[in-house]
Amino acid sequence: MSELVLRWGLLSTARINRRVIGAIEETDRSVIAAVASRDGSRAAEYAKTHGIPHWYGSYQEMLAAPDIDVVYVSLPNAMHVEWGMRAAEAGKHVLIEKPIALDPRDVVGLEAIANDKGVVIQEASMMRFHPQTSLLRDLVASGVIGEPRWAHGAACFSMSGSGDIRLDPDGGGSLWDLGTYPVTLFNAVLGRRPLEVSALARVGTTGVDLTFAGQIRYEGDVLGSFATSMETWPSNNAEFAGSTGVITVEDPWLFPIGVGASGRVTIRTSSDAEGSTSHRSVADANAYVEEVTAMESMILDGANEVFPLRESATNIATLTALLKSASSGRVVSVD
Amino acid sequence: MSELVLRWGLLSTARINRRVIGAIEETDRSVIAAVASRDGSRAAEYAKTHGIPHWYGSYQEMLAAPDIDVVYVSLPNAMHVEWGMRAAEAGKHVLIEKPIALDPRDVVGLEAIANDKGVVIQEASMMRFHPQTSLLRDLVASGVIGEPRWAHGAACFSMSGSGDIRLDPDGGGSLWDLGTYPVTLFNAVLGRRPLEVSALARVGTTGVDLTFAGQIRYEGDVLGSFATSMETWPSNNAEFAGSTGVITVEDPWLFPIGVGASGRVTIRTSSDAEGSTSHRSVADANAYVEEVTAMESMILDGANEVFPLRESATNIATLTALLKSASSGRVVSVD
């Protein structure tokens, strides 16, 4: 096959795949070459349903295949690092679902192997690739709200089904599933180092947090706070307040707009005596297509990271500190 | 004078007085009888400007006057308890600006003297007397959002002037000035006991918090979080998220709507398969008039408290725990 087309292998048959499959189908320089599952018949069935040329009844078998350039790891959270490492060791580029790891040291390990093997490893945090996130970061960086003072976000939905994988003590919970959004957004948009965190959680019978309230102190004493929940009627919004303005975002995490539309960003500022309100939105974009396109550009054109792996490391460090704070009842440093 | 008209004495010439003066002028059973200031010429000037019949060049002198029924204490926060106690000891009913005290034990002291002297003591937290607050409490109590999971609020403005009294280490800071709003609202609307808190603050050069991020855990693991700031472009909103619905409030703290209009309460619920959105608002009401009318009803008709002093005590205990958490970096119990 031409070197200008990336052959993707899907590692797992998780539901999130369909977003990435759709995105790969929309881009010119990627094709889906294979899917792997530990259950061969499931892999075969999945390949047939989605028109995927090859299937493998084991993950390792697909990683050994020479005609796979990129592996998309959509396994349960606790398996992200192991299979991301194995894919990189096999010389594949890797896109790993968020959260990329449950321990920040593992992100350092992933960085090391990416450098060693000369492959691209990225966290599939689709929001980070969407132009709305860049718009927010650029607005704050340009001083449109003056000195930022605090950020708030809510990322909540109501989980259906008691057997949900998000109830699994190993990598489950609302923080790992939803907290990655506000933490990733705040870290990217504020562009400041998170120093310490504080948190309270409502823990369910399986031991994972069902609802989580987190606070982050950034350098310069900018404060961030968020609520995540898997047990409320959906509430999704974010706000960035600064000395001379406030930005409110209707769909900060891009569900459901991540699959093709653009949301609404409202800016209130003191640019005139009365204060003024304006609305901004970016051109319609599919965050998953942006994510796949970024992989193509990095791998095929040597482009820089849109979402630096360094940022993933900081985000994971923030999330682990938040969990530690919730269980210890203490402010915890972000290392 | 007729026993059916309350003769009010203003203790201080603070700016907030004008709201209460306006409210007293609007009600039938209250009149402003006097104003007191430690500066006699200021009291005289203030009385003249506002058409107040009597003035006193000392607080104690006004408290000794037999023709004063109710004293409104609008002194700086750190003086609220002392002069509230003195007024009650003099047999006056007392309305004390929020926060009524800086230590929950002082509220217990105020309760004791109110019982002992047979007088009414209330905290002038105008929001608590407004029908919008009652509407929110009733909506949550009626189960419109199912089981409440978390609440969030922002109460922020940009302070002008470096000599602002709110920068005074003794009772100043954004938590004491603005934090009373979300804490009072959450406590009233959730109707649950606050158990523990966690907080981060951005402290300015005078030692008071300029921006404050607080979290509260209520019984049943309902979580509350809020941001207050005296150094951002105004942001004021609140949200209550539950298992089957979300309530969003445009002007939860009633500034500026507390002086005559009503705000907008948006309810999104799962009452039908698609979910539905409705807007609710209460009839226009002036929160300060409601506050004065509540005093009249309690004193003249023996009516029950709209805003129980017990609630004030809980609110102050929550606020002091929040401050303790921000300075200690630990989760602190609300005693």
Query: What is the least distance, in Å, from the CA of B84 to any CA of chain A?
Result: 36
| Residue-wise DSSP of A283-294 | PP-BHHHHHHHH
Q: How far is CA B283 from CA A165, B22, B241, B306, in A?
A: 47, 19, 24, 18
Closest residue by Cα to residue A63 from A81, A47, A41, A83: A83
Position B174: which residue type? S
Contacts of A224 in chain B (CB under 8 A): 213
The stretch A291-295 carries a mean pLDDT of 98
B contact test, residue of A147, A152, A228 with most B CBs within 10 A: A152
B contact test, residue of A145, A219, A223 with most B CBs within 10 A: A223
Whether A311 has a pLDDT exceeding 80, the answer reads yes
- pLDDT tens-digit map of B134-173: 999 999 999 999 999 999 999 999 887 778 889 999 899 9
Out of B200, B229, B241, whose CB is closest to A241? Answer: B229
Position A108: which residue type? V
Query: What is the least distance, in Å, from the CA of A211 to any CA of chain B?
Result: 7
Chain A to chain B, count of Cβ pairs less than 8 Å apart? 152
The stretch A26-30 carries a mean pLDDT of 95
**Which chain A residue is nearest to residue B155, measuring alpha carbons?**
A241
Partner-chain contact A198 B215, CB within 8 Å: yes
Contacts of B270 in chain A (CB under 8 A): 233
**Which chain B residue is nearest to residue A276, measuring alpha carbons?**
B233
Contacts of B268 in chain A (CB under 8 A): 233
- Predicted local distance difference test score (pLDDT) of residue B35: 98
- pLDDT tens-digit map of B25-82: 999 999 999 999 999 999 999 999 999 999 999 999 999 999 999 999 999 999 999 9
Query: What is the least distance, in Å, from the CA of B196 to any CA of chain A?
Result: 9
CB burial of B82-97 (b: ≥16 within 10 Å; e: otherwise) equals: ebbbbbbebebbbbbb
Mapped onto helix, strand or coil, the DSSP state of residue A237 is strand
Partner-chain contact B202 A149, CB within 8 Å: yes
- Predicted local distance difference test score (pLDDT) of residue A91: 98
- Predicted local distance difference test score (pLDDT) of residue A31: 97
Partner-chain contact B232 A246, CB within 8 Å: yes
**Which chain B residue is nearest to residue A156, measuring alpha carbons?**
B241
Using pLDDT thresholds of 50, 70 and 90, give the confidence band for residue A271.
Answer: low
Partner-chain contact A154 B156, CB within 8 Å: no
Contacts of B325 in chain A (CB under 8 A): 198
Using CA atoms, how far apart are residues A303 and A297, in angstroms rounded to an integer? Answer: 5
Output DSSP code: residue A68.
-
| Residue-wise DSSP of B66-120 | TT--EEEE-S-GGGHHHHHHHHHHTT-EEEEESSS-SSHHHHHHHHHHHHHHT--
Partner-chain contact A229 B150, CB within 8 Å: yes
- Predicted local distance difference test score (pLDDT) of residue B33: 97
Partner-chain contact A233 B202, CB within 8 Å: no
Out of B156, B215, B239, whose CB is closest to A235? Answer: B239
Partner-chain contact A215 B217, CB within 8 Å: no
Contacts of B199 in chain A (CB under 8 A): 198, 215
- Predicted local distance difference test score (pLDDT) of residue B213: 98
Asked if residues B55 and B43 have their Cβ atoms less than 8 Å apart, the reply is yes
Please name each of the domains of chain B with its CATH number: 6-124 (3.40.50.720), 128-288+316-333 (3.30.360.10)
Q: How far is CA B329 from CA A47, A149, A189, B162, B266, in A?
A: 53, 20, 26, 28, 36
Query: What is the least distance, in Å, from the CA of B164 to any CA of chain A?
Result: 17
CA B67-B68-B69 angle, to 5 degrees, is 115
Using pLDDT thresholds of 50, 70 and 90, give the confidence band for residue A116.
Answer: very high
Partner-chain contact A202 B215, CB within 8 Å: no
Q: Which residue has the higher pLDDT, A137 or B2?
A: A137
Q: Which residues contact A122 (CB under 8 A, 6 or more apart)?
A: A94, A95, A96, A291, A294, A295, A298, A305, A307, A309, A312
Whether B327 has a pLDDT exceeding 60, the answer reads yes
Q: Helices A131-141 and A180-190: crossing angle, nearest 10°?
A: 40
- pLDDT tens-digit map of A35-94: 999 999 999 999 999 999 999 999 999 999 999 999 999 999 999 999 999 999 999 999
Closest residue by Cα to residue B100 from B308, B293, B299: B308
Q: Helices A309-328 and A104-117: crossing angle, nearest 10°?
A: 160
- pLDDT tens-digit map of B226-253: 999 999 999 999 999 999 999 999 999 9
Instruction: Indicate if the alpha-carbon torsion angle B326, B328, B331, B335 is positive or negative.
Output: negative
Out of B227, B243, B330, whose CB is closest to A231? Answer: B243
- pLDDT tens-digit map of B98-142: 999 999 999 999 999 999 999 999 999 999 999 999 999 999 999
H or E element, residue A129? helix A126-129
Out of A154, A212, A329, whose CB is closest to B239? Answer: A154
Closest residue by Cα to residue B213 from A228, A151, A244: A151
Whether A12 has a pLDDT exceeding 90, the answer reads yes
Query: What is the least distance, in Å, from the CA of A325 to any CA of chain B?
Result: 9
Six token digits for residue B222: 């309902």
The stretch A198-214 carries a mean pLDDT of 96
- The alpha helices in chain B, defined as continuous H runs, are 17-26, 40-50, 59-64, 80-89, 104-117, 131-141, 174, 180-190, 287-301, 309-328
CA dihedral A167, A170, A175, A178 (to 10 degrees): -70
| Cα Dmax for chain A | 67
Partner-chain contact A200 B215, CB within 8 Å: yes
**Which chain B residue is nearest to residue A158, measuring alpha carbons?**
B243
Contacts of B145 in chain A (CB under 8 A): 233
